Amino acid sequence: MEGPLELISRTASSTWTNHDHARAGKASRCRNKLPPVIHDSEKEVGHFTRLRQLAAWIEKMVLSAAEATPSSSLISVIFLQNTFTQVFLAVAVICLCTRVISEHRFNAIKNGRASGIAPPTLPHWIPGLRHALHMAYSAKHFVAKSLNKYGDGTPFFVDAAGEKILILLDPKHVKRALAASELDANVFVHTKIMGQLMGSPQETVDFYRTPNHGIDELAMLQIRQHTTGTPLTSMDNKLLEIFERNMSKAHAPAVKGDWVEIPDLYSFFKHLATLSIGETLLGSAIVESYPRLAEDLWTFIEGTDILLLGLPRFFAPSAHGARDRLLKHIKTWGRKSDALREQNAVDKSWDAVAGSRLMQDREEMYTPLPGHGEDGRAAQTLGLLYGGTSLSIPVTFWFLYEILRNQNLRQKVIDDLRHQTDSTSAAVDFAQLATSPFLQSLHSEATRFYTRNVAAREVVAPIFELDDRYAVKKGITVLIPNAHTARFTAEWARTRPQAVERPLTDFWPERFLVPDGKSERYSDAGLSGNWTSFGGGEHKCPGRFFARDMALVTLIVFLEEYEVEIVDPEGARQFDPVWNQIAFGTMAPTGDIAARIRRRKV
């Protein structure tokens, strides 16, 4: 049997070096159909010289230990004969060598001059599995640590046991990817998001693999039609009505003008907003019959990274259980809605059982489609509910919180609200409010600063040329973490210099304002690769205007109708989240933010 010292010596020998060259050369040409990596021979010699030195050092330490005491024969047995020790040392050496070699390969590709090559893969310790264990344990934290260490703009692969994901960081690459016809979002949406995250049945996923079904475009158009113009105003007013009612029910004494203590403003707002959006979209009946709707929805949302990886149920039992309950109640909601439509007894504008006109039209569109039984339609509804809450609610909280803890900003927002609204009318003109350059900029900055989501695409062409250096093969998933591009100062400075007058690591409400004669106007023009909170290209989030108007509804309630005070604004800053600790997921305060609330006196 080969001992650990022989293994160490062989591991550090030219066998590894030749194998490394072969994989970077011939294998790259034959299997990947991409040109070989050009290696820096001096750096390579240095890496393997250090490996041989390490092997010699370990051998010296083991032999010294065996000769150091009279019981050398016993130590010899322990170090040189014991099978467990041999296996342990062998595994340690293999992992160490794998790390050194993979890091060398990463740097060789990154610093080389070859063109048409695949981007580098992050260094790893375990052959075969590579980054799989890190991703299974916490994908959002692992990717964040990788971005912190390797996020200089070079695209890189994360490899989870052969399932490769390309991470794009440089806004130039991002802009190219979002506009490219060689990449498509729908493949990822149906296989990963709908299939693995939302629990869509396989027959539904298979339907979207049929060519020319045309439903994706129709669904996007449908959402745009219902979240712009007059239909959007109707949804805004319904959301305001429900929000006001839920606020009154949650804190009745506050309505009478008494101060009411709120131990945790974030939890209070999240629960209130989730129920209000859920009722606006799906109607009152499901919210009343399913009291833990908000709780289950957020348990499900927080398990996104594990569910997306398709890992077994025991990795995230709470998230799986929450999704099961959500789908069960949504299917019941769907049956009741179907029955009302069959009887022609639905209020088309908004129905307490069938919900909004948007949801009614979606149910009518999906019902006759192959593979869209009640399970398939329930997954689609859950997807829309997820999309309407997971991003917009945390962003709206931080939008509100930044206003509440800054007296100057609060007064500026109140003045702007009063300037944009008609004091003689009881109705709120959301279309007019949405034209405010300052409020638009404030909301965009909150979205830029506090979102941790990703835009996802899949390469559908044989080869996608990212730039003059890197090329990507068909079938590769491409992820764009918005938090990193939102802070990529060099490209922001090149695209819009005035936007970096304040560091991108600061919250600056005026960042999206540009000069317009003697005044200022809102603009996000030219920032498609820098600011990707709502995606980009033809797949840009169609519900982004409803997300913006939800923030306006919040301002009306929390600033115009009620008074809200943070108990200790400066002390609460310790609970601000660290922006680079997670690559995606919910940005929530790290502790409870105490506040108090009462009805504003007229």
Distance CA 341, CA 251 (A): 36
Q: Which residue, among 115, 114, 107, has the nearest Cα to 156 in the 3D structure? A: 107
Residue 355, φ and ψ in degrees, nearest 5: 85, -155
DSSP per-residue codes, 102-130? HHHHHHHHHH---SSBPPPBPP-SSTTTB
Q: Render the burial of 186-220: b for 16+ CB within 10 Å, e for the rest.
A: bbbbbbbbbbebbbbbeebbebbeeeeeebeeebb
- CA 51, 55, 56, 57 torsion: positive or negative? positive
- Is 541 one of the annotated binding-site residues? yes
Q: Which residue, among 385, 383, 382, has the nearest Cα to 393 in the 3D structure? A: 385
For residue 211 the two structure tokens come to: 């060519």
421-425, long-range: CB within 8 Å, 24+ apart, which pairs?
Answer: none
Distance CA 107, CA 39 (A): 9
Beta-carbon contacts of 368 under 8 Å, excluding residues fewer than 6 positions away, are: none
Distance CA 563, CA 599 (A): 6
For residue 42 the two structure tokens come to: 């001096």
For residue 188 the two structure tokens come to: 């990822």
Strands (E), 130-226: 156-160, 163-167, 183-184
Distance CA 558, CA 549 (A): 14
Q: Which residue, among 542, 602, 596, has the nearest Cα to 569 in the 3D structure? A: 596
Residue pair 114/35 in contact (Cβ under 8 Å)? The answer is yes
Distance CA 336, CA 282 (A): 12
Distance CA 249, CA 245 (A): 6
To 5 degrees, how large is the angle CA 8–CA 14–CA 20?
A: 100
Which residue ranges make up the annotated binding site for heme? Answer: 541
Which residue ranges make up the annotated binding site? Answer: 541
